[in-house]
């Protein structure tokens, strides 16, 4: 299945910042400017052929520290409500999962911590000293700092939304459902309830193909 990807929000702000006179534009980015919204879709899918959808009643929380579980926090409720609203605004009818909907929407929060170790062979490793050491009475010498190790540890919280095609599900082909639309929300504040409405609106705004009529 061929997919195409789009990235919005932070990218436009980033271009403006880079082109400015600031020495370190990334250090001056706001939390909103740091967020990136990625959408992918199946180019073969005709979204106008789908009429109904259903959405999960809780959000999967996936972590490389604690495994997976399901939750329905106040944030999760806001997220599900906004996704429902946007889908309905595109002409899709919300139905119970028992009513055999055309589309199914899964929602996940991802909370991963990554630790890595880097080796630095030393300042100016493999290069002569920048300054002429002859100035200090040591002509022909080089200089460097000793090698050392760096330990990096960071935590990333993100949100994933997957829209599955139930209408055209077929047995005998690996019994796999096709995901025709996917969203990834990344950056600072994606788990903040105050940002839910604007984030969900942004991903639907950049997915104009997602509607029941042309």
The pLDDT-based confidence of 119 (bands split at 50, 70, 90) is low
Residue pointed to by tokens 């959808």: 53
This prediction has a pTM of 0.70
Cα distances (angstroms) measured from residue 23 to each of 13, 29, 32: 16, 12, 20
Q: What is the reported pLDDT for 135?
A: 63
**19 SS3 class:** coil
Q: What is the reported pLDDT for 169?
A: 83
Residues 21-61 have pLDDT tens digits of: 444 444 555 666 678 999 999 999 999 999 999 999 999 99
Is the model more confident about 150 or about 34? 34
Phi, psi at 30, each rounded to 5°: -80, 170
Res. 206: pLDDT tops 60: yes
- The percent of residues above 90 in pLDDT, for the chain, comes to 46
b vs e for 47-71, b when ≥16 Cβ sit within 10 Å of the residue's Cβ?
Answer: beebebbbbbeebbbbeeeeeeeee
Retrieve residue 153's tokens: 């540890």
* Range of weakest confidence among 18-27, 114-123, 158-167: 18-27
Strand partners, 157: 111
Res. 150: pLDDT tops 60: yes
Is the model more confident about 7 or about 164? 164
Strand partners, 41: 4, 181
Phi, psi at 167, each rounded to 5°: -60, -40
Retrieve residue 204's tokens: 């639907």
Strand partners, 106: 162
Res. 190: pLDDT tops 50: yes
Res. 66: pLDDT tops 50: yes
Q: What is the reported pLDDT for 45?
A: 93
């Amino acid at each position: 299945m061929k997919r195409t990807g789009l990235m919005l929000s932070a990218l436009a702000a980033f271009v403006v910042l880079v082109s400015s006179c600031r020495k370190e534009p990334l250090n001056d980015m706001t939390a909103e400017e740091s967020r990136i919204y990625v959408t992918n879709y199946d180019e073969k899918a005709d979204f106008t052929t789908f009429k109904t959808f259903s959405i999960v009643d809780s959000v999967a929380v996936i972590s490389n520290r604690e495994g997976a579980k399901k939750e329905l926090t106040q944030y999760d409720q806001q997220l599900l409500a906004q996704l429902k609203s946007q889908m309905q605004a595109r002409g899709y009818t919300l139905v119970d999962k028992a009513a055999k909907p055309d589309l199914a929407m899964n929602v996940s929060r991802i909370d991963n911590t990554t630790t890595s170790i880097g080796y630095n062979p030393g300042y100016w490793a493999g290069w002569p000293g920048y300054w002429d050491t002859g100035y200090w009475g040591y002509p022909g010498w080089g200089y460097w700092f000793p090698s050392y190790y760096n330990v990096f540890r960071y935590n990333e919280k993100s949100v994933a939304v997957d829209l599955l095609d139930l209408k055209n599900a077929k047995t005998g082909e690996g019994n796999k459902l096709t995901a025709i639309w996917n969203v990834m929300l990344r950056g600072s504040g994606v788990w903040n309830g105050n940002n839910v409405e604007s984030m969900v609106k942004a991903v639907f705004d950049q997915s104009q193909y997602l509607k029941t009529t042309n």
